Structure 1
Amino acid sequence: MQNRQHIRYFFLQVVFIHFAVQNSKSKFSIDFEKFHEDSQEKNDNDIKALDKTKCSIDSDIEEINEIYTKFKSSLKDTCEVVRNLIPTCKEIDELHKFQEKWYLECHKLKIVTTYFGLKAQSNELTLLAKKPMIEKKRSNDENLRYSIIEYICEKTCLDIQLMNLFIYCYNEDKKAGRLWKSIKQDPNKVNYLAKKII
């Protein structure tokens, strides 16, 4: 039953196509004759008018081109932002590494001050560890350590030679002997050391 319907539809389609072709042929021949009858000037005007009229797809193409242009511009802006972020990320990473190094140096010195019972210096180191001096970021480890020692000694009124002696003694450094020779010349420094040792 369905096959018969399909055959009927197919047959009807073939008949319609045949009539459409015949109709088109007759219209084409009439139009072709008219075409030759019209003057060349009219044809040029028709062609120009046809060129000026937009197809429905033209607006879609323009819209797609506009979207593509905006996307391309946005992509360039994004690339520029990423390029600008790379140095910023690098700077943030360097700052983070510096903060870790700063904290580690403060912690090492705090161990020394705690060992020798230097409470004021120990407390100051705890505070200083949380607030690194960003201007010292480019310093190497030795300069960084010296900056911290200098700051702590200045803040707590401790002689820097005494602080260095405590550090050298704690680390069993050979420099401790040489430093002791210069410290024992000053009775105030010896008194301070005696109080801390006792």
Structure 2
Amino acid sequence: MFPNPVLQAPAPIVTRRLRLRAPKLEDAFEIDPIYNDFEVARWINVPHPCPTGFALERFQRFLIFPPHERCFIVSKKSDKKQKAIGLILANWTDAEKPPIIGFFLASRFHGKGFMGEALDAALKELFKLTDAEAIRASFYDGNIASDVLLKKKRFKPVGTSMDFNRATGKTEKQTDLILTRSVFEAE
């Protein structure tokens, strides 16, 4: 299930409107305001308000390109500066479970189909990168946008779990989903 270690930044993936690329340290400064938007933070389990340096600390980990993790910075293809408008993170540290994927987008880009387009590319890359037969995802109850998007991508609910949400300070119910390789490849 584990790909070969990546010693350098993976090549970007370009879609019709987006570029998914490896993170750079300066992306932390563009992601920080997204983490501090409660309408986003509430669904992605980061502290709110987000402490100074939180994004920078996380990005230091992303920059070593661990062999069990892939971080995709989502930017608009038309933006010459390639500023981060969102992020997709996949992790497969637990060899007993399929990789898990999470994502977010700056709220001003919601409702434009950007995350659906980005997820298509990221899921294709993850199935190519790993020998996993499925990819997991979850969302907190009430996150209608993620519910609709994941079901549109043919993720199937497999149960629920409880998770402490740092943004709200509460333990909350989340729906757990799976997308199998066979379903993904059947498109």
TM-score range, shorter chain: under 0.3
Tell me the TM-score normalized by structure 1: 0.26
Task: Point out the structure with max Rg over C-alpha.
Answer: 1
**Greater strand percent: which structure?**
2
Tell me the TM-score normalized by structure 2: 0.27
**Greater helix percent: which structure?**
1
